[in-house]
Amino acid sequence: MVEKSEEKKPRYATLEKEVIEEPKVQASTSKPKVAKSKKKEVAKKTNSEVQVVEVVKEVEVPYVPKRYEVEIYKKSSPVDILAARYGYYESIDEIKLLEYTDRFGAEVEDMLLGDIMVDGVGISVHNDKKNWIKNLCNTNMGYKFYSTPARELNETE
């Protein structure tokens, strides 16, 4: 064996880790049987294991504007009467009166002009039309009228 003499530097002087050299082992022509069996086991494990790779593709979905519709009913003794239907269109940001019963025409048109109160918060039909129509079912409309919850539809339907 050949001995190497190296100067040892104090550790506090540098931040380098101390290097420990391992003696080199000479390769022999005959390999031990234990090493071969371990390699075969590792090879079998890698061949028998199934790796599942998940591929996620991002697909751009075109924006489709929505339409919100509510139905306004008048409370009546035997059966409630459909008074009107409102529709809000996102593409043009407008509320339209889709249909109404003639005898309730004036009341229904007046409702389109007024603001609503939901839990002490006022929602203006002129400033926030989408929230107005969505929250119409949560307010007291007066004149014994009430609204169904807003149905969300594609505007192209």
The answer to whether position 26 is within a domain reads no
Q: Is the pLDDT of residue 43 over 60?
A: no
Q: What is the pLDDT of residues 53-82, one digit of tens each?
A: 778 888 888 888 999 999 999 998 889 999
What pLDDT does 94 receive? 93
The answer to whether position 52 is within a domain reads no
> Looking at the 3D structure of the chain, how many domains does it have?
1
Q: What is the 3-state secondary structure (H, E, C) of 72-125?
A: EEECCCCCCEEEEEEEEECCCCEEEEEEECHHHHHHHHHHHHCCEEECCEEECC
Its pTM stands at 0.58
Full domain range(s) for residue 140: 67-154
The answer to whether position 87 is within a domain reads yes
What pLDDT does 12 receive? 57
